[in-house]
């Protein structure tokens, strides 16, 4: 017996020595190819790109992996206990490899003939997750063991656990325990219950098999097993175990919920970050702060959505999106799952029609739509006409109709439809070009085409201020008289005749430039452009940032036939709002690394304040501003965040010109096509409507010194908005709703009067300087060198202030 015991003893020693020799040989053979464990200390886990508003509210998250790294000190002790109970209860005692676990795995291999479990410790899983593949082979397992032994020698247990809990995949694109807690419970790992911690701790073994969303029964079974292990190992009390085991499996899918609805802003920031960093933008954990305050963005969303829906309902109801009569309730419910909510408009299917309204099936169940919310729904015939007003709900909808409803603040439903017309709104800070809000369409989920940045449309009369600016910088004054009379242009080679006309098809004869602008007289704009020269005027207008190829080289340019985006128009208008300076729009204010280091801070060219800003004389162009180059990921960020002296914006227009033009554009609000904006009750706003031929595009651009905002409305495939629809009826109400909210409680803010401005009494008939006794004389603004002559000073030659002949009817060559 003693000999037998000695034999077994020596056999065990021999096996142990053989294992040691085998591992030693394997280490000597594999060690040259083993990765450096020290690299784990500086490992860069993939973290998504996150975009925030200027007031630090989440706009969007981009990246395949949802991950929020957490420090070991912030991990709840109960979660550590749950994880170790499930994965490696001997973690505190082994040195990277647990012989008993390996023996168990070997026994399973002998019995089954193939690998069932790897006997891995958490340290071995760290080695595999960071350095190796998931291949099941003896050579990989040997490498894993050797790496685990090295890891244990060079890292603390806490460091190993921190690496593990931040790296592991836990299902539904969640990597790491903090992301898993957010995905399954919508809160931090520090806030979840003991039962919820046990559920998350059970996921590393098989994230798909034990997923609480895909396999709740299996997930609960594993959760309860882990809770039992924790109780058996003395990690929790019996009361804790009983309470946790009885807690229902209450996991549900949570995605990172944007705190600000700004998808077009998010996409612009994403595209810029990819341009700076390439694919690393999605994985390096950048935090991007935009220039957009959340409150202004929400105001812009509301203004555009409500404006487009008001226009849409003004033209009638186009009928249901589809008809599903005779279907079962289950079939209707299935159909609803296929439909998306577009902006705030939910899909619903009519289940009953009565005199009080409709019963509809929504995703939340049966609900009521009141008849009062349906009375607008006259049948749509075309953009110019509608059918008879409905007398009862059955005139509007039938059972089985797939319709749209809008949920009201009191949770009631309002009958609605998705507008076909589109729109865009962009609002800038004219002092530095910061984008303060931007909406590129009715709904991003309907179309991610950003009309504010990409839609090149004709701006119509909202382009005229650029022509008038050229005139004021070329000897004309606000009191200059230009003939508002018919004119015909002929191309004798193509047999083409162009007879431009005013919107009202009336003619006022000689008219002051100020009046011509606020009354939007087309013939005056054409004559101005003709007198100054098309080429010379285009060269002047390009200083506002427009591309020359977008400006037609003929007299139609005076009527706004250029093709420009709302962003380009708003950028050009910023010069009128800031006293003559060129700004460049920008969206990213700051970029931070995963560690909170500042990598980039915007330093845009900014309008100077004080004396320099009020100097009316155009200064030479300043040196163009260039931002710092983006840092290379992984390198020290130092150079990219070095503070710079503020860049000074380039003056491109005489400040006196913009001051006079601002006064003229304020008259558009007080006396002209923008009179609706008087309802805002502000003395510091100026703007101009724009409507193109057949009302295919409707615009309003306007500003005070705080914000310059441009609104465009129209159809993606150009067609008429309706013969009674103009910039003042479609775009202006949207602009007003936004600016009313944006400027609420803000004091009036106007550009200061520059030096070299005179206010003189003028004769409205002749445009000449007038005496106090002249009938109808009024005060007009002039540059000091452009003051009009008195009647006694008039010579025989025409001067900018003199009227043109009233009988100018002769045909003029078009080219």
Strand ranges (E), 440-564: 481-484, 489-491, 496-498, 509-512
Bridging pattern class, strands 287-290 and 49-52: parallel
Query: Would residue 461 show up in a list of annotated catalytic residues for this protein?
Result: yes
| Angle in degrees, CA 551, 667, 458, rounded to 5 | 20
Distance, in Å, from the CA atom of 610 to the CA atom of 648, rounded to the nearest integer, reads: 13
Q: Which residues contact 664 (CB under 8 A, 6 or more apart)?
A: 468, 478, 513, 514, 517, 518
Nearest residue to 569 (alpha-carbon basis) of 560, 578, 559 = 560
Burial of 295 (0-12, 13-18, 19+ CB in 10 A): middle
Question: Catalytic pick from 53, 85, 87, 120?
Answer: 87
Question: Catalytic pick from 437, 461, 525, 574?
Answer: 461
- Judge contact between 197 and 76, C-beta under 8 A: yes
- Judge contact between 317 and 417, C-beta under 8 A: yes
Q: How many CA atoms lie within 13 A of 50 on its CB side?
A: 22
Give pairs for 272-281: CB < 8 Å, separation 24+. Answer: 272/587, 272/588, 273/49, 273/588, 273/591, 276/591, 276/630, 277/630, 277/633, 280/633, 281/49, 281/62
What are 280's strand-pairing partners?
none
Query: Would residue 298 show up in a list of annotated catalytic residues for this protein?
Result: no
Burial of 588 (0-12, 13-18, 19+ CB in 10 A): buried
What are 581's strand-pairing partners?
651
HEC string of 236-300? Answer: CCHHHHHHHHCCCCCCCCCCCCCCCCCHHHHHHHHHHHHHHHHHHHHCECCEEEECCCHHHHHHH
| DSSP-H helix ranges across 115-215 | 122-131, 138-154, 157-167, 177-185, 194-201
φ/ψ bin of 319: left (φ > 0), alpha (ψ from -120 to 50), beta (otherwise): left
Q: What is the DSSP letter of 620?
A: P
> Which sequence positions are flagged as catalytic?
87, 461
């Amino acid at each position: 017996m003693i000999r037998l015991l000695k034999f077994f003893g020596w056999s065990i020693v021999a096996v142990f020595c053989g294992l040691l020799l085998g591992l030693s040989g394997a280490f000597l053979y594999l060690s040259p190819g083993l990765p450096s464990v020290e690299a784990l200390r500086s490992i860069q886990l993939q973290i998504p790109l996150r975009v925030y508003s200027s007031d630090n509210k989440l706009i969007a998250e981009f990246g395949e992996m949802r991950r929020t790294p957490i420090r070991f000190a912030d991990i709840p002790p109960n979660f550590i206990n749950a994880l170790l109970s499930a994965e490696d209860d001997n973690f505190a005692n082994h040195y990277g490899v647990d012989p008993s676990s390996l023996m168990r795995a070997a026994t399973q291999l002998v019995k089954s003939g193939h690998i069932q479990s790897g006997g891995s410790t958490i340290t071995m899983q760290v080695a595999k997750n960071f350095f190796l593949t998931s291949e099941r082979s003896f050579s990989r397992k040997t490498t894993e063991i050797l790496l685990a032994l090295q890891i244990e020698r060079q890292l603390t247990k806490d460091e190993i656990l921190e690496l593990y809990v931040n790296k592991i995949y836990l299902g539904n694109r969640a990597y790491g325990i903090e992301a898993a807690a957010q995905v399954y419970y919508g809160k931090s790992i520090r806030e979840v219950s003991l039962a919820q911690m046990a559920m998350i701790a059970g996921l590393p073994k098989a994230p798909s098999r034990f997923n609480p969303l895909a396999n709740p029964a299996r997930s609960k079974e594993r959760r309860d097993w882990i809770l039992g292990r924790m109780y058996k190992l003395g990690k929790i009390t019996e009361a804790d175990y009983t309470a946790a085991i009885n807690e229902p499996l209450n996991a549900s899918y949570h995605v990172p919920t944007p705190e600000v609805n700004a998808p077009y802003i998010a996409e612009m920031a994403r595209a810029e970050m990819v341009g700076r960093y390439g694919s690393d933008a999605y994985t390096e954990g950048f935090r991007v702060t935009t220039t957009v305050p959340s409150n202004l963005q929400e105001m812009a969303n509301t203004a555009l959505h409500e404006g487009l829906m008001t226009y849409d309902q003004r033209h009638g109801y186009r009928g249901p999106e589809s008809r599903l009569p005779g279907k079962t309730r289950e079939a209707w419910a299935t159909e609803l799952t296929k439909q998306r909510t577009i902006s705030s408009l939910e899909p619903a299917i009519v289940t009953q029609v009565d005199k009080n309204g409709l019963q509809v099936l929504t995703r939340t169940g049966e609900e009521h739509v009141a008849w009062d919310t349906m009375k607008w729904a006259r049948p749509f015939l075309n953009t110019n006409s509608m059918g008879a007003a409905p007398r009862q709900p059955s005139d509007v909808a039938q059972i089985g109709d797939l319709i749209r409803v809008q949920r009201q603040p009191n949770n009631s439903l309002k009958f609605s439809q998705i507008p076909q017309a589109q729109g865009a709104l962009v609002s800038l800070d004219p002092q530095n070009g910061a984008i303060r809000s931007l909406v590129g369409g009715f709904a991003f989920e309907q179309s991610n085409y950003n009309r504010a940045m990409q839609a090149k449309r004709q701006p119509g009369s909202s382009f005229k201020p650029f022509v008038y600016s050229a005139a004021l910088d070329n000897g004309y004054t606000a009191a200059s008289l230009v003939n508002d009379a018919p004119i015909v242009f002929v191309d004798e080679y193509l047999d083409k005749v162009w007879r431009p006309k005013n919107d009202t098809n009336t003619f006022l004869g000689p008219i002051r430039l100020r009046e011509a602008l606020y009354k939007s007289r087309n013939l005056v704009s054409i004559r101005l452009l003709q007198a100054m020269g098309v080429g010379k005027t285009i060269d002047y207008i390009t200083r506002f940032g427009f591309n020359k190829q977008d400006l037609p080289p003929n007299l139609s340019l005076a009527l706004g036939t250029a093709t420009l985006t709302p962003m380009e128009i708003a950028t050009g208008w910023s010069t009128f709002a800031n006293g003559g300076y060129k700004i460049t729009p920008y969206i990213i204010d700051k970029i931070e690394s995963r560690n909170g280091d500042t990598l980039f801070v915007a330093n845009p060219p900014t309008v100077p304040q004080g004396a320099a800003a009020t100097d009316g004389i155009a200064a030479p162009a300043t040196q163009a501003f260039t931002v710092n180059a983006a840092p290379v990921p992984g390198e020290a960020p130092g150079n990219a965040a070095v503070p710079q002296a503020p860049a000074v914006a380039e003056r491109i227009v005489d400040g006196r010109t913009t001051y006079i033009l601002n006064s003229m554009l304020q008259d558009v609000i007080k006396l002209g096509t923008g009179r609706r904006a008087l309802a805002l009750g502000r003395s510091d706003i100026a703007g101009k409507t724009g409507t193109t031929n057949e009302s295919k595009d409707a615009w309003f651009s306007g500003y005070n010194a705080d914000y310059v905002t441009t609104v465009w409305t129209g159809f993606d495939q150009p067609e008429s908005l309706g013969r009674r629809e103009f910039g003042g009826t479609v775009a202006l109400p949207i602009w007003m709703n936004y600016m009313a909210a944006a400027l609420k409680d803000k004091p009036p803010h106007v550009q200061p009067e520059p030096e070299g401005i005179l206010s003189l009494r003028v004769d409205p008939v002749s445009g000449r300087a007038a005496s106090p006794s002249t009938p109808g004389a009024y005060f007009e603004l002039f540059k000091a060198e452009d003051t009009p002559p008195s009647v006694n000073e008039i010579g025989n030659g025409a001067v900018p202030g003199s009227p043109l002949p009233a009988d100018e009817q002769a045909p003029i060559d078009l080219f």
